[in-house]
Structure 1
Amino acid sequence: MNITKEQAFSLVELLYSLLLLSILLAVATPNLKLLIERNQEGALRDSLIAFLNEARSHAITLRRNVRLCGSSDGLTCDGDWQRYWLMITTDNDQTIQLHHLSDTADLCWRGARDSIEFHPNGTTLLGNGRFSLCRSDGVAWQLVLSRQGRLRFAGDEGAGCCPTGDTTS
């Protein structure tokens, strides 16, 4: 007669394993949240870079002035860079492209005007400007746009965040 021994976890072993798992999750969860936030910030930065480069490319290709602006409603330029970005030809105000931000970001533009205009040669109308993305602990990143239409990543140094609610400071 073969006697087989059943194998299982005791209640104490199971509770101990659950306790250990809950401690590990409590430690890992805040780091995961931070990782997700940083990922979203990077995705927004990459979208903005692509949108700016595409506008510059359209201006050169179409041989027309192309204006980028922020919009709260997706229809008119009002300097609110947190909801929509519009790409418009300046000669007939035709919208070439509309970009909707999925989450409201604390993004602001600091420049001579509240919009960016690319000439057919790829340069901007009125000198340098910078985009800043802010979070509760300060500036997440900044993109500097030169008069030649080139972008430079500025990290978190330099000018601070725009005042709350002001996207064109």
Structure 2
Amino acid sequence: MRDSGQSHHAGTEVAFNPASSVPMDAISNRYREPIMPTPEAGASLPSLLLALTLTSATALYAVDGARRWLDARHAEADRQALAGLIERARLQSLLEGRRLRLCASADAERCAERWERGALLLDPVSGQMISAFTPRARITLHGPATALDFSAHPAASVLNATFTLCTPLRQGWQLVLNRVGRPRMDWVERDQRCSTQ
């Protein structure tokens, strides 16, 4: 048997030379990867600008979509509130046997000419305010040219009118009243009256 300085390999003898061995530190350092990329592997300015542009565009699109969704929900809530006010005017005038007036109002206190900021339900004889409707922010109301009088006798009422609740994108709800004040409601994607807000 040979000494420990030599070994057998496939029938040939190979001398082991301790001086030619690689230090263990060099072997372990060889397999260590740098945590941070080297400057040569960094991102270029155009690629960073492109990434920033894409991120900004995605964020703006998400914010715009959320705003449209919120406007549509506000218009839906206002539609329900306005329809409830109209139905209250119709039923209360029948049950109490008196005439009630639905008019445009800018301050929820007095009748006005334009409907954009809201509507008011009142007793035209006493001037007593019964209820008011004010649309939410970014929602605009368009209504008929004149106030609507709800009579105690439905046959005496002529209530044909159209109300439109508009979002900033000219979408919204349309409430079309028949002769006795019953509303039909439709969602409209583009309403000509909304373009004038």
The question of 1:100 aligning with 2:131 is answered no
Aligned residue for 2:172, secondary structure, equals strand
Answer yes or no: is the 8 Å Cα contact 2:148–2:159 preserved in 1: no
Aligned identity (percent) is: 25
CA gap of 1:82–1:124, structure 2 versus 1, over 3 A, is farther
Answer yes or no: is the 8 Å Cα contact 1:87–1:96 preserved in 2: yes
| Residue 45 (structure 1) aligns with | 79
Cα distance between partner residues in 1 of 2:68 and 2:120: 30
Cα distance between partner residues in 2 of 1:63 and 1:117: 13
| Residue 149 (structure 1) aligns with | 181
The question of 1:121 aligning with 2:153 is answered yes
Answer yes or no: is the 8 Å Cα contact 1:116–1:124 preserved in 2: no
CA gap of 1:137–1:59, structure 2 versus 1, over 3 A, is same
Answer yes or no: is the 8 Å Cα contact 2:170–2:191 preserved in 1: no
Answer yes or no: is the 8 Å Cα contact 1:119–1:125 preserved in 2: yes
| Residue 164 (structure 1) aligns with | 196
| Residue 134 (structure 1) aligns with | 166
1:87 maps to which of 111, 121, 134: 121
Aligned residue for 2:89, secondary structure, equals helix
**Superposed displacement of residue 91, structure 1:** 2.5
Aligned residue for 1:141, secondary structure, equals strand
Answer yes or no: is the 8 Å Cα contact 2:74–2:136 preserved in 1: no
Alpha-carbon RMSD across the aligned residues, in angstroms, is: 3.0
| Residue 76 (structure 1) aligns with | 110
Q: TM-score scaled to structure 1, two decimals?
A: 0.70
Structure 1's unaligned 5+ residue stretches are 1-9, 13-18
Q: TM-score scaled to structure 2, two decimals?
A: 0.61
Cα distance between partner residues in 1 of 2:179 and 2:88: 16
CA gap of 1:49–1:134, structure 2 versus 1, over 3 A, is same
Structure 2's unaligned 5+ residue stretches are 1-34, 38-51
> Equivalences for 1:26-45 in 2 at 5 Å?
27-45=61-79
| Residue 3 (structure 2) aligns with | none
Aligned residue for 1:98, secondary structure, equals strand
Higher helix share goes to which structure?
2
Aligned residue for 2:165, secondary structure, equals strand
Deviations 1:51-105 (A, max 9, x none): 1111112111211011011111333211322223211112222211233334253
Cα distance between partner residues in 2 of 1:124 and 1:157: 35
Counterpart code for 1:88: L
